[in-house]
Structures are given as C-alpha cells and as structure tokens.
C-alpha cells in the first residue's frame, strides 16, 4: 500500500493538506510532503511511529481513542483540534478521517488542514470589536472628564479668592476632593477594562472560588451591615470549572459591590440587608446568581446597563458591568439581569463547565470505551 501511494499518487505531495496513512493499530505507514511542513518531522521520523505522536498528553485518554474508534468502526471523524508539533507547540487543524480495506487489510486515513490562520483572524475580529467599543469610550471620556475638570478648576479659582477660614472654603475643598476621587476611580476602571490580560484557564473548584470571593468582599465592606447567604443547590463540593480565577473573582466582586450599594438605597424591606448567592451546575454549564432586595433597575435603563459609562448614580463611573460582561464573554459564557424597580435585582453569570468538547473528556459511546483503542 505504501509503495502504491508513493509511486501512483505523487499528487498527494502537492496539496496544502497533510495526509497520513496508518494500519488498523494507528502505526504510520505513509505521510505526504505537507505533513513534514505542518508538524515539523521528516517522513523518516514519522513513519513507523503511531498517530499519538501528534496529540498532547491530555488528549490520549479520550480524544484520540474516540477518533480512532469513530474512524475504524463508524463513518469517520471530522472536526477541529489542537495538535502537537515536533517542537512541542500547538497547532490548530481541521481533521478528517476514514477507514478502508485493501487486499484484505484495514487502513486508517487522516487528513489535516491548518486552520491556525482562521483562529488568528477570529481573535483579530474580536479585538477589533473591543477597539470599536474603546472608540465609543474615548468619545464618552471627553464628556465625562470635561465636567469634573471644569468643576475642579472653577472651585479652585473661587478658593483662591475666598477667606481660608470661611465655610465656603471647606465646601469647595470637599467638592474638589470628591471630583478628584471620581476621576481617579474612572482612570482605574478604564485601565481594568482596557488592559485586561489574556485569559489563563485553570481547573478551579466552584465552591472555593465563590467562598473566597465572598470573604474578600466581606472584609472590604465591613461595617455595611450586609450578610451573604450562599446556597449550593445540588452542587457537589468537588465540582470544577475552567476559568481565569483572578478575572472571575474581580467580576463577581463588582456584582456583589453593586448589590451592597443597591441595598443601601432600598427602604423598609424585610431582610433587605441579605444578599443571596445561588450556585447551580449541570453537565455543560455553571451558573452563579446574585440576588438582592435593593432599589432595582427601571425597565428603560435595563437595556443600557452594560454600556460603558452608563450609571444611574452620578457618583459612579459606570464601567463595572461593562468589565463583567467582557470577562464572561471571554470565557465563552453569558450574563443576564432580571430586575424590578424597588423590588430588587438578580444577576446571573453562566460559564462553560469544561472548555473541552465532550469528545475530548468522555467516551462517545460504551462501545468506544470497550474498543481496542481505549486500552
């Protein structure tokens, strides 16, 4: 079979698709020229090895055996994956597989098409979207910063003309300090949003992340008289999800701080100082809901709540929920808010429980688990 491919099908060396032929045990019998370019090995280095050479260690338990089972016993496999080059670096490819028989022997065929460039274009498209948002932010910054600066300048000039011991002097100083603090907070929040680092995903315990976040907010907001009621639902103590812990903690802190401030505005509600945090989990997603009995959000403002600089409180910058939404979306999740004016608000964040597709983390069928490729 190898000689037939080399002698009769030289066209396999001219396409920009890597082609590999193996026996039924996934031992490599033939590779075309583009395979050398894609993975960095020579033909001599690849032939005689097994197809597992191109897979990362974490994918040898389920992903590769599932692919081999689908190729050998079903109609084949087609999908995207991150494979390993000779230097250990990852490369995104589109993989198609099939099996066939020749001369009484069974063979497996693999074709790999590089999609690294497509992945890069997707990232660039996402970055362009963020830049467009930044453009809108810059326009709003000019409006937001102009008023505090004018106020600071005006009050500073009056202060220079006023008597140092007058009541007006103290009022002017307080106003200057308040506006200066607001500007500093605006800059801090802008830097948090604009300079958000690329996510680093780690396997984290859901309950531990939430408990640590609540502890941090409780320490910071001591004296506010607020209590948190953490409800685990059906969540097991050992449930995990894949997140950037630092960014998710900051996003959750923003939401909890918003609830604390909203409670401060509510009047005459029973148990209004208690914030309910509910955790839910299924096979695919983790949901974290934060509910308060605070002032709530009007229907007309609810549609604008994620806009940069939008806030119903003049003293607030209005970038917190913008940051939260971006963090959630970067994780491949979503966020939604239910609120009624003077009744309270519930913010729900949904994160994928596992970034890996099912084929990479579980058997596609009981037969796959019992196949010769699972051994």
CA-nearest of 210, 253, 256, 205 to 230 is 210
User: Cα separation of 140 and 310, whole Å?
Assistant: 10
At 286, the pLDDT band (50, 70, 90 cuts) reads very high
Cα dihedral value 302, 308, 311, 314, nearest 10? -170
Q: Hey, is 297 helix, strand or coil?
A: coil
Residue 100 phi/psi, 5-degree rounding, is: -155, 165
pLDDT, position 196: 75
Backbone Cα Rg of the chain: 29
Strand partners, 82: 92
Mean pLDDT of 275-283: 90
Task: Express each pLDDT in 323-350 by its tens digit.
Answer: 899 899 989 899 999 999 888 999 999 9
User: Cα separation of 36 and 45, whole Å?
Assistant: 10
Asked if the model's pLDDT at residue 46 lies above 50, the reply is yes
| pTM score of the predicted model | 0.62
pLDDT, position 139: 61
CA-nearest of 160, 239, 158, 196 to 325 is 196
Asked if the model's pLDDT at residue 136 lies above 60, the reply is yes
Share of the chain above pLDDT 90, in %: 38
Mean pLDDT of 171-192: 77
Mean pLDDT of 75-103: 91
User: Cα separation of 12 and 58, whole Å?
Assistant: 31
Q: Hey, is 146 helix, strand or coil?
A: helix
pLDDT, position 349: 96
pLDDT, position 154: 76
User: Cα separation of 246 and 363, whole Å?
Assistant: 32
Domains of the chain with bracketed CATH: 2-114 (3.30.450.20), 116-195 (1.10.287), 199-375 (3.30.565.10)
Strands, E, within 187-267: which ranges? 202-205, 227-231, 240-243
Tell me how far CA of residue 184 lies from CA of 16, 178, 307, in angstroms.
54, 10, 20
pLDDT, position 192: 73
Asked if the model's pLDDT at residue 24 lies above 70, the reply is yes
pLDDT, position 262: 87
CA-nearest of 208, 302, 196 to 250 is 196
At 175, the pLDDT band (50, 70, 90 cuts) reads confident
| Least confident piece of the model among 65-79, 86-100, 166-180 | 166-180
Asked if the model's pLDDT at residue 271 lies above 60, the reply is yes
User: Cα separation of 167 and 170, whole Å?
Assistant: 5
Tell me how far CA of residue 282 lies from CA of 35, 279, 328, 362, in angstroms.
40, 11, 18, 15
Question: With 0-12 CB in 10 A as exposed, 13-18 as middle and 19+ as buried, what is 217?
Answer: buried
Q: Hey, is 40 helix, strand or coil?
A: coil
Q: Which has the higher per-residue pLDDT, 375 or 284?
A: 284
Bridge pairing between strands 105-114 and 18-23: antiparallel
Asked if the model's pLDDT at residue 253 lies above 90, the reply is yes
Q: Hey, is 106 helix, strand or coil?
A: strand
pLDDT, position 129: 65
CA-nearest of 316, 310, 305 to 339 is 305
CA-nearest of 204, 198, 176 to 288 is 204
Asked if the model's pLDDT at residue 37 lies above 60, the reply is yes
Mean pLDDT of 131-139: 61
Q: Which has the higher per-residue pLDDT, 138 or 276?
A: 276
pLDDT, position 190: 75
Which of the listed ranges 117-121, 152-156, 260-264 does the model predict with the highest average pLDDT? 260-264
Pure H helices in 57-115: 63-73
Task: Express each pLDDT in 291-312 by its tens digit.
Answer: 999 889 998 888 888 887 777 7
The total number of residues shown for the chain amounts to: 375
| Least confident piece of the model among 2-11, 211-220, 327-336 | 2-11
Asked if the model's pLDDT at residue 1 lies above 50, the reply is yes
Q: Hey, is 279 helix, strand or coil?
A: strand
At 200, the pLDDT band (50, 70, 90 cuts) reads confident
At 117, the pLDDT band (50, 70, 90 cuts) reads low
Tell me how far CA of residue 287 lies from CA of 173, 245, 251, 323, 350, in angstroms.
46, 15, 14, 18, 4
Q: Are 302 and 339 in contact (CB under 8 A)?
A: yes
User: Cα separation of 128 and 80, whole Å?
Assistant: 24
The dihedral sign for the CA sequence 115, 117, 119, 122:
negative
Say what angle helices 167-194 and 320-330 make with each other, to 10 degrees.
Answer: 10
List CB contacts of 372: < 8 A, sequence separation 6 or more: none
Q: Which has the higher per-residue pLDDT, 105 or 124?
A: 105
Asked if the model's pLDDT at residue 131 lies above 90, the reply is no
Per-chain mean pLDDT for the chain: 83
Q: Are 35 and 18 in contact (CB under 8 A)?
A: yes
């Amino acid at each position: 079979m190898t000689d037939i491919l080399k002698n009769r099908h030289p066209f396999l060396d001219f396409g920009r698709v890597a082609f590999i032929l193996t026996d039924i045990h996934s031992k490599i019998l033939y590779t075309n020229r583009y395979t050398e370019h894609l993975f960095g090995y020579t033909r001599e280095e690849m032939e005689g090895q097994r197809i597992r050479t191109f897979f990362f260690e974490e994918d040898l338990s389920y992903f590769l055996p599932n692919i081999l089972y689908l190729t050998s016993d079903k109609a084949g496999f087609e999908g995207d994956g991150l494979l390993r080059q000779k230097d250990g670096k990852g490369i995104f490819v589109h993989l198609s597989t099939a099996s066939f028989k020749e001369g009484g022997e069974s063979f497996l065929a693999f074709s790999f098409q590089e999609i690294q460039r497509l992945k890069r274009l997707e990232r660039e498209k996402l970055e362009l979207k963020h830049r467009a948002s930044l453009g809108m932010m810059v326009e709003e910054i000019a409006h937001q910063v102009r008023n505090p600066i004018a106020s600071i300048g005006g009050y500073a000039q009056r202060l220079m003309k006023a008597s140092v011991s007058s009541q007006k002097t103290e009022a002017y100083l307080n106003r200057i300090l308040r506006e200066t603090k607001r500007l500093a907070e605006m800059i801090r929040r802008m830097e948090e949003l604009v300079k958000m680092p690329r996510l680093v995903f780690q396997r984290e315990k859901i309950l531990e992340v939430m408990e640590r976040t609540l502890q941090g907010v409780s320490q910071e907001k001591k004296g506010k008289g607020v209590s948190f009621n953490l409800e685990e639902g059906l969540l097991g103590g050992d449930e995990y999800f894949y997140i950037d812990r630092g960014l998710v903690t900051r996003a959750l802190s923003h939401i909890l701080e918003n609830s604390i401030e909203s409670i401060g505005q509510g009047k005459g509600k029973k148990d209004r100082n208690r914030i309910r945090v509910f955790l839910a989990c299924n096979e695919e997603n983790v949901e974290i809901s934060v509910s308060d009995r605070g002032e709530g959000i009007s229907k007309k403002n609810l549609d604008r709540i994620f806009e940069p600089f939008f806030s119903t409180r003049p003293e607030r910058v209005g970038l917190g929920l913008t940051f939260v939404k971006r963090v959630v979306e970067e994780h491949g999740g979503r966020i939604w808010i239910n609120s009624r004016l003077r009744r309270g608000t519930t913010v729900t964040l949904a994160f994928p429980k596992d970034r890996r597709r099912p084929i990479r983390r579980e058997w596609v069928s009981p037969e796959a688990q019992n196949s010769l490729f699972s051994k």
